[in-house]
């Protein structure tokens, strides 16, 4: 599926603005697969994080972000999110529709952007990471690309954005049990933390 027209239009406009404001220092971009589906995941502390993820992986990789459904209710922003093929997630329940949409994108070779904690977590706070990323990666058989985004991002200061090597959740494709997923989530979060410069 080609990138949406609005995504292709906005990408070269938003990217220079983010470069000016956050002066990204990008490391490990060679770890991002050139072809095929993957899930990129990072810590989440501010509304700018999805844009840093989408803009600096590269225009050739449209990232379908998974975002809380409340954001889609905003008249203008909600329309933009739909037209750029973001995925609405109802966090109050097990949102089967969002999971099916995400799986469909991955099976078509598309890329997803997800935040393991499921919400914004500021510096000094803590939140348990959810198992959705590893469950989805296991179900479809795609790698997870860990990405480090600092929780504190002062504008006009250098901001490191670091991509780690792809993580293959279940390379032997054995059937995983429910108790297998929490350690896998912990491993993903540990690898993200290890990317911090």
The CA-atom distances, in angstroms, between 123 and each of 80, 86, 119 are: 29, 26, 13
CA nearest to 178, candidates 140, 143, 145, 138 = 138
Task: Provide the CATH number for the domain around residue 173.
Answer: 3.40.1130.10
DSSP classification of residue 152: -
Q: How many residues are recorded in the chain?
A: 197
pLDDT at 118 over 70: no
For residue 148, how many other CB atoms are within 10 A of its CB? 20
The residue segments making up the domain with residue 97 are 5-194
The answer to whether the CB of 185 falls within 8 A of the CB of 41 is: no
Q: What is the pLDDT of residues 9-48, one digit of tens each?
A: 999 999 999 999 999 999 999 999 988 999 999 988 788 9
Mean pLDDT of the 59-74 span: 85
Query: How many CA atoms lie within 13 Å of 67's alpha carbon, on the beta-carbon side?
Result: 23
Q: What is the pLDDT of residues 164-173, one digit of tens each?
A: 999 999 888 8
Better-scored residue on pLDDT, 109 or 60: 109
* pLDDT (0 to 100) of residue 120: 46
The answer to whether the CB of 146 falls within 8 A of the CB of 164 is: yes
Q: How many domains does the chain have?
A: 1
Q: For residue 1, what pLDDT band results from cuts at 50, 70 and 90?
A: low
Task: State pTM to two decimals.
Answer: 0.89
According to DSSP, the residues that pair with 24 across neighbouring strands are 159
Mean pLDDT of the 63-82 span: 88
CA dist 136 and 52 (Å) reads 23
pLDDT at 105 over 90: yes
CA dist 177 and 194 (Å) reads 27
pLDDT at 2 over 70: no
Better-scored residue on pLDDT, 126 or 178: 178
CA nearest to 118, candidates 54, 65, 167 = 65
């Amino acid at each position: 599926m080609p990138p949406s027209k609005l995504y292709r239009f906005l990408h070269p406009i938003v990217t220079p603005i983010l470069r000016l404001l956050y002066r990204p220092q990008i490391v490990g971009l060679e770890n991002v697969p050139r072809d095929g589906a993957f899930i990129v995941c990072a810590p989440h502390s501010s509304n700018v994080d999805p844009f840093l993820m989408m803009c600096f992986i590269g225009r050739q990789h449209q990232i379908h972000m998974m975002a809380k459904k409340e954001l889609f209710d905003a008249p203008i922003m909600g329309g933009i999110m739909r037209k750029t093929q973001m995925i609405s997630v109802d966090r109050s329940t097990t949102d089967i529709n969002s999971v099916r949409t995400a799986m469909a994108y991955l099976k078509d070779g598309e890329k997803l952007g997800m935040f393991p904690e499921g919400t914004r977590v500021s510096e000094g706070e803590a939140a348990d990471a959810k198992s959705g990323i590893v469950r989805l990666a296991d179900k479809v058989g795609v790698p997870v690309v860990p990405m480090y985004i600092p929780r504190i991002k002062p504008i006009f200061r250098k901001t490191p954005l670091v991509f780690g090597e792809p993580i293959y959740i279940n390379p032997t494709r054995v059937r995983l049990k429910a108790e297998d997923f929490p350690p896998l989530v912990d491993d993903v979060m540990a690898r993200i933390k290890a990317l911090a410069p």
